[in-house]
C-alpha cells in the first residue's frame, strides 16, 4: 500500500483560523486545528492585526498535526482561503503598517459612493469589475486610508488581501488569484487583469499589488525554509495560490466547471451570503460579479448581519439561540452593523409591531426572520443575474444548499425552510471553506482540476452524508410583512440611506 499523502486546507476567517488535514486520496477529514482571531473597533470600525492571522495559522497547523497523528513528512501541499476584501498594507520588509481594515468595516461608505460617481455610476463599474463599490470592497478602504491616514498610504510598499498576506508568508511570493482579486474593485473580470483606469482613479501603482495567477489552484510557490520551520512542515511542499473564502466553499461543494452550475448556496455565518457557480459573467449592480477559483464565475450577494447579529439579540433577551418562535406581528430588522445588501452602511436595527402578548421567544424569532428575509431577497437578485426567474416553479423547486455555522442550528434551518419554501440540503462537511482550500492544495501538488478533486472526495467512500429536507409551505404572511417594513423603512428609520 502506498504511503498516505495529506494536504492542508486553511480557512482564515474573520473570527478564527481552521487548518483541515485531508487525506489527499479519499478526501477524508483527519483533523481540524483551530485558533481564534481578535477583531477590534467600534462605530463602524472593524480591524485585525495580520500578525495574529499568521500566529493563528501556526497554532492551527500545530494542533492539527498533533490531533491527526499524521507525520509531517506525509503533507504534500497547503492552500489558504481567506476572508474577502480586507485591506492589508505592508512596509518594505513585508510587515503590516497598521491593523487590516476588514470587510465589515463600514467607515469607507462615503468613499464608496464617491468612487461610484467618479466613474459614471453603477453600470460603469459592473461593466468593468462586475461589482459596484460598497464599504466592504477593498478599493473603498484604500480610498478611506488615502483620505484619513495619508502618511500610512504614502508609506505603503505593498497591498495584500488577507489570504495573499498568508500565502506570501508561506512562499515569499506576491501572488493572488482571480477569485479573491475580483473582490477588490480594481481587478477587471471583463479583461482578467488589473484595470489601469481604475488604478489611476485610486492613485494606486500596480507595482504595489500581487501578481494574478490563472486560478486558485495555481502553484504560488514552495514552502520556504523559514515558513516550514515555523509550521513544523517539510520545506518545499506545494503552496497553492489560494482564494477567497466564498470561492473556496464553492470548490468544496463541487461547484464550477467540473461540477454543478447555477445551483444556489446560502451561507449563514458572520455574514449571510448567497452564491452560485456560472459560466456566464454576471454584471448586475444588485450583486457582486466575482470570478471563481477555477476559471468560471461566482455571482454573489452578501449581507452584513447574520448569525452574530441574531446571537446578540438572543443575549439581550437572555435566551438560548434556539429558543425562538415565529415572530407573529413583530418585525425585527437586525441591522446592528449597518447593512451591505441592501446598501445601508449607517443603518441600525429596527423593531416594530410589538403587542402586549409578544413574547421574548417571538422577538428572537423575528430577528431570525429579518435576517433570513434579507438574505433571501439577495438570493432572488442572484437568480435574476444568472438569467433565472425566481418565480419560475422549476427554479423555485431547486434545492438550496445551506452552509456555514448557522446551517448547524435548528432555528436557522427551520426559518430558511419556512420563508423560502424550498427543499434544503445541508452538506455533511461543516468545513467546506477548508475542504475547498485542501482541494486547491491537492491540485497544486498534482496538477489536477480542483473542482473535480472535490467532486471525487464528496462522492467517495467515507464521504459525509448530506441531509436533504423537503420543502415546507412558504410563510407568505411573514415574508410580506417583513418586506413591507423593510421597503417602507429603508430611508429615515434606518439612518437616512437610500
With CA atoms as reference, report the closest residue to 99 among 86, 80, 115. Answer: 86
Binding residues for substrate are 84-85
Instruction: Return the closest-CA partner of residue 278 out of 266, 267, 292.
Output: 292
Q: What does residue 356 show for φ and ψ, rounded to 5 degrees?
A: -60, -30
Residue pair 100/46 in contact by the 8 Å Cβ criterion:
no
d(CA 232, CA 359) in angstroms, rounded, equals 53
Concatenate the DSSP letters of all residues of 316-334 into one string: HHT--TT-----TT-EEE-
Residues 304 and 375: their CA atoms lie apart, in Å, by 10
Is 294 among the residues known to form the active site?
no
Binding site, by residue number, is 84-85
Angstrom distance (rounded) from CA 9 to CA 52? 18
Is residue 61 a contact partner of residue 33, using CB atoms and an 8 Å limit? yes
Catalytic residue among 11, 164, 245, 343: 245
Sheet strands side by side (includes 467-469): 288-291, 297-303, 272-275, 265-268, 400-403, 424-426, 467-469
What's the CA gap between 480 and 140, in Å, rounded? Answer: 34
Query: Closest by alpha carbon to 247, among 275, 211, 272?
Result: 275
Question: In whole angstroms, what is the distance from residue 452 CA to residue 434 CA?
Answer: 16
Q: Which residues are catalytic?
A: 245
Amino acid at each position: 500500500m502506498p504511503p498516505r499523502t495529506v494536504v492542508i486546507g486553511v480557512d482564515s476567517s474573520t473570527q478564527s483560523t481552521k487548518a483541515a488535514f485531508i487525506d489527499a486520496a479519499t478526501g477524508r477529514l483527519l483533523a481540524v486545528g483551530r485558533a481564534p482571531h481578535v477583531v477590534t473597533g467600534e462605530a463602524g470600525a472593524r480591524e485585525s492585526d495580520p500578525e495574529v492571522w499568521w500566529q493563528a495559522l501556526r497554532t492551527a497547523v500545530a494542533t492539527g498535526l498533533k490531533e491527526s497523528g499524521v507525520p509531517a513528512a506525509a503533507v504534500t501541499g497547503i492552500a489558504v482561503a481567506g476572508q474577502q476584501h480586507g485591506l492589508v498594507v505592508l512596509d518594505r520588509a513585508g510587515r503590516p503598517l497598521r491593523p487590516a481594515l476588514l470587510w465589515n468595516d463600514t467607515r469607507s461608505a462615503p468613499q464608496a459612493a464617491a468612487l461610484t460617481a467618479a466613474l459614471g455610476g453603477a453600470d460603469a463599474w459592473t461593466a468593468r469589475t462586475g461589482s459596484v463599490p460598497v464599504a466592504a470592497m477593498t478599493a473603498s478602504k484604500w480610498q478611506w486610508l488615502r483620505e484619513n491616514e495619508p502618511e500610512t498610504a504614502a508609506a505603503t510598499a505593498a497591498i495584500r488581501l488577507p489570504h495573499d498576506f498568508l500565502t506570501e508568508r508561506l512562499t515569499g511570493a506576491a501572488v493572488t488569484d482571480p477569485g479573491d482579486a475580483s473582490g477588490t474593485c480594481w481587478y477587471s473580470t471583463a479583461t482578467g487583469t488589473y484595470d489601469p483606469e481604475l488604478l489611476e482613479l485610486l492613485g494606486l501603482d500596480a507595482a504595489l499589488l500581487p501578481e494574478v495567477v490563472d486560478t486558485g489552484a495555481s502553484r504560488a510557490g514552495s514552502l520556504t525554509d523559514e515558513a516550514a520551520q515555523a509550521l513544523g512542515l517539510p520545506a518545499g511542499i506545494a503552496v497553492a495560490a489560494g482564494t477567497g473564502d466564498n470561492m473556496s466553499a464553492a470548490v468544496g461543494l463541487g461547484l464550477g466547471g467540473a461540477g454543478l452550475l447555477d445551483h444556489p448556496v446560502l451561507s449563514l455565518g458572520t455574514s449571510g451570503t448567497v452564491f452560485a457557480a456560472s459560466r456566464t459573467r454576471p454584471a448586475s449592480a444588485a450583486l457582486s460579479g466575482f470570478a471563481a477559483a477555477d476559471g468560471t464565475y461566482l455571482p454573489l450577494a452578501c449581507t452584513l448581519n447574520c448569525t452574530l447579529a441574531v446571537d446578540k439579540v438572543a443575549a439581550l433577551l437572555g435566551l438560548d439561540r434556539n429558543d425562538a418562535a415565529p415572530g407573529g406581528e413583530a418585525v425585527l430588522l437586525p441591522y446592528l452593523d449597518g447593512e451591505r445588501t441592501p446598501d445601508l452602511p449607517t443603518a441600525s436595527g429596527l423593531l416594530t409591531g410589538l403587542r402586549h402578548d409578544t413574547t421574548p421567544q417571538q422577538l428572537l424569532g423575528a430577528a431570525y426572520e429579518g435576517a433570513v428575509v434579507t438574505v433571501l431577497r439577495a438570493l432572488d437578485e442572484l437568480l435574476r443575474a444568472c438569467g433565472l426567474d425566481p418565480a419560475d416553479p422549476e427554479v423555485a423547486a431547486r434545492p438550496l444548499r445551506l452552509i456555514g455555522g448557522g446551517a448547524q442550528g435548528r432555528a436557522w434551518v427551520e426559518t430558511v425552510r419556512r420563508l423560502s419554501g424550498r427543499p434544503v440540503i445541508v452538506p455533511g462537511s461543516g468545513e467546506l471553506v477548508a475542504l475547498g482550500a485542501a482541494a486547491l492544495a491537492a491540485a497544486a501538488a498534482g496538477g489536477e482540476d480542483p473542482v473535480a478533486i472535490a467532486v471525487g472526495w464528496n462522492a467517495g467512500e467515507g464521504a459525509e452524508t448530506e441531509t436533504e429536507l423537503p420543502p415546507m409551505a412558504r410563510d407568505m404572511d411573514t415574508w410580506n410583512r417583513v418586506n413591507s417594513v423593510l421597503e417602507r423603512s429603508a430611508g429615515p428609520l434606518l439612518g437616512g440611506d437610500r
